Structure 1
């Protein structure tokens, strides 16, 4: 295990070094191309203006290459760590994204400062207005993401149901015994802005972090028990006490703690009644799988008892 890990770390370091060297070469080539364009292709009256912004061009190139390096390095390192610990990998990527944004803002502030206080003040005011108007939702997502990571409300790999009034769900016609009106899936990733969820149907949901912080989160994997209800129409000629005893015998399963049958009236016909089967199952059991088992056994027992009449 440690040998394979050592090989993996070695390959990761070599790949990162090669990428750093490649990006540094690209940055140098871009700057050389810019200088050649200024000296040989641009008219003389434009040359002095462009050369006055030479420090800005260099700063933009450095900031861009640095941002790409930090982002790619963080992504690769977090992916490597996620192979061993998904939570720590996600937290590391979250922290690196935050550091990257702060570093870019500082670099831009330093670049504007070179043009004097008036330009820096004007630029800072303009950026402040833009951020204040357009980035309110962004800041809400970032703050919510930090709270989610720090409190451990959920983590990658958790199977949860997300219930939030902002998102409606078109209900199917089959009765579901009052299940929560939410989206169920597995947390795949938590980024600076969004939480990615892979639904039970295979869809990938990208949910803003502030929505996740505001939502009701139902943790499916840590429930102490699951209560499952199934309904089936039974001919009134079948004694409900006999039906209950047979269904209890059939559902002797290590995942099932108890079984109880209730009788509900059916208004459409007097020849049948509705058997409501309540099962208390282990919290780690798959609820849909248990319900499928209950209904299959109920149909089989109903058919067998019906033939005996």
Structure 2
């Protein structure tokens, strides 16, 4: 029996059928142009250096288009699987070709294969290698430090796997602008949060929580901080809000505590604490994941006109962005009771 999440011959056939028909067109076009170049070189006695440059351009252009089509087919297949995972809200065992390591190595092999084909097409002669080396030196010289930083950053991500495709992460780096909060007075890690969708030789791609696609250089990823969370992990949230001095502070406090217990209780489908294997965070005595704690409502500050309340609660990671809004909607009748008419 074949595992649903491992590649089999049927998945390979589906991937081949998913390749655009232009893939074959580009291959036929490249073969035809190479034949035409050879004929023109023999008939018009073209210099070998010019022939090598023309061959490199044809093979590079056609090869890049074919690689683009292969990557697109793999990305569509992977996107379908990720969509199923996100909708189910459950952990998903990615196939090797859909993992960070698989994606990076497949792309690396594709581009390395293209480089070898270019060398073979130009004949592997000294002049051909010299022309190719000259062009490569120009490209690397222009790209400079950023080129190598992003390339080796992607290689480090593929080898050490600080995250994988489908993980919900927050990337924190000094290159990102910092926006300190003025209220409430607390520190928050500034960064971009979203689901990892893809990784290539130089960039990683995230689908941000607001729906936008965010591509971050691999050099920034490997040198920055990373906050990784699973959808069913419990997250601690703390927020404050002011309420005009009520007639009975004690009664208001009791109603807020009741609303907090109602809003921040575990649902039947949410395990307490979430299941997680020690291997998920390493094999050297990793700390256990946070479980659920009862919500707490405190009086954080008080003035002549208002009372500042602080709420501390545990919510699933996937719901943390909506927990505050849901709680406020529940306590509106408490904070602003309807006036008798």
Alignment of 1:213 with 2:222, yes or no, is yes
Q: How does 1:104-253 map to 2 (within 5 A)?
A: 104-109=114-119, 111=122, 113-115=124-126, 120=129, 124=133, 127-128=136-137, 131=140, 134-170=143-179, 175=184, 177-221=186-230, 223-239=233-249, 241-253=250-262
Contact 2:198-2:206 within 8 A present in 1 as well: yes
Give CA deviations for 1:95-138 in whole Å, capped at 9, x if unaligned. 1221233234444556385145xx85686477447525634322
Structure 1 residue 217, shift from structure 2 partner? 1.5
TM-score, normalised by the number of residues in structure 1: 0.74
Contact 2:171-2:226 within 8 A present in 1 as well: yes
* Separation in structure 2 between the aligned mates of residue 289 and residue 62 of structure 1, nearest angstrom: 51
Give CA deviations for 1:11-57 in whole Å, capped at 9, x if unaligned. 543565955543332124324554676688xxxxxx32347754664
Partner of 1:99: 109
Q: Which runs of 5+ in 2 are unaligned?
A: 82-93, 267-291
Larger radius of gyration: 1
Q: Which runs of 5+ in 1 are unaligned?
A: 41-46
Structure 1 residue 139, shift from structure 2 partner? 2.0
* Separation in structure 1 between the aligned mates of residue 135 and residue 9 of structure 2, nearest angstrom: 49
Partner of 2:271: none
* Separation in structure 2 between the aligned mates of residue 291 and residue 14 of structure 1, nearest angstrom: 46
More helix by share: 1
Structure 1 residue 168, shift from structure 2 partner? 0.6
Pair 11,229 (structure 1): closer, same or farther in 2 beyond 3 Å = closer
**What SS does the aligned partner of 1:197 have?**
strand
Structure 1 residue 86, shift from structure 2 partner? 6.9
* Alignment match of 1:13 (pick from 16, 37, 40): 16
* Separation in structure 2 between the aligned mates of residue 15 and residue 237 of structure 1, nearest angstrom: 68
Q: Give the number of aligned pairs.
A: 294
**What SS does the aligned partner of 2:171 have?**
strand
Pair 251,16 (structure 1): closer, same or farther in 2 beyond 3 Å = closer
Q: How does 1:269-308 map to 2 (within 5 A)?
A: 270-276=304-310, 278-284=311-317, 286-304=319-337
Q: How does 1:16-55 map to 2 (within 5 A)?
A: 16=19, 21-34=24-37, 47-50=44-47, 53-54=50-51
* Separation in structure 2 between the aligned mates of residue 161 and residue 52 of structure 1, nearest angstrom: 50
**What SS does the aligned partner of 1:23 have?**
helix
* Separation in structure 1 between the aligned mates of residue 227 and residue 149 of structure 2, nearest angstrom: 22
* Separation in structure 2 between the aligned mates of residue 185 and residue 15 of structure 1, nearest angstrom: 27
Pair 158,235 (structure 1): closer, same or farther in 2 beyond 3 Å = same
Give CA deviations for 1:215-265 in whole Å, capped at 9, x if unaligned. 2212243643322323122415322x3322222222333337423222233
* Alignment match of 1:73 (pick from 70, 75, 81): 70
TM-score, normalised by the number of residues in structure 2: 0.68
